[in-house]
Amino acid sequence: MIERSYSRANAAPIVNLGLRQYMVKVYNFMSAGLALTALTAYLVANTPLLKLFFSMSPQGQISLSGFGWLMFIAPLIMIFAFGWVITSGTASQAKTLFWAYAATMGISLTPIVLAYTGASVVRVFLITAGTFGAMSIYGYTTKKDLTGMGSFLIMGLLGIIIAMIVNIFLQSSGLDYALSLLGLAIFIGLTAFDTQKIRRMYYDADDDEIAIKKAVAGALSLYMDFINMFIYLMRFMGDRR
């Protein structure tokens, strides 16, 4: 922890160094979470664990088993639990829940590994990483307040979720395509917004426990932006087996 215990002339560089260390910690947690997700998806897709979570028809269609449905719903439950852990739990609990969430998401994303070619998965991942990196840098460096944009994007995301539920009954391929396009645009924008918000969450007087919880919370936000961006891009650019 870097304390503001020097002269005013030296205060700004010290705070900037602390901010850089904090942001590096956020990105390290996020990157490790993505690596865990990728490893979990690969292991489930290529080991007998696949039969524990999924079943495949002779035509190659993938369906969830009973335990698979539990793992599919688990990330939603963890998101609600994560809010409580950040406010009332410890830093160790926050990190543990983050790793559990990343691993569970790996199970949920296994059908993508099975449905698309490995080359296209890698290609789209790299495209996602490049897009994410550009928008995150913009959110970190811009002096423009993105709060208004973020509120608009969050309302748009809620609208997409409602429309997706409605489309379960309508089964409209055109609406599904439009929602995917809008979803991609929203998460690209949210990457910049969340990065700016995470930067503003930094406060040099935070103790180590609070700083770690803030870093994990920020990592989770960016992780979700990346994963959703990747999923939407796979729909447009992925090559099915």
Average pLDDT over residues 129-135: 97
pLDDT digits (tens, 9 = 90+) for 205-238: 678 889 999 999 999 999 999 999 999 999 999 8
Which residues are 55's β-sheet partners? 63
Q: For position 132, what pLDDT does the model report?
A: 97
Q: Count other Cβ atoms within 10 Å, centred on residue 124.
A: 23
Q: Is the pLDDT of residue 59 over 70?
A: no
**50-54, 83-87, 104-108: the lowest-pLDDT one:** 50-54
Average pLDDT over residues 175-191: 94
Q: For position 31, what pLDDT does the model report?
A: 97
Please give the model's pTM, rounded to 2 decimal places. 0.88
**19-28, 89-98, 142-151, 168-177: the lowest-pLDDT one:** 168-177
**65-69, 87-91, 173-177: the lowest-pLDDT one:** 65-69
% of the chain exceeding 70 in pLDDT? 91
Looking at every residue in the chain, the average pLDDT score rounds to: 87
Q: For position 8, what pLDDT does the model report?
A: 40
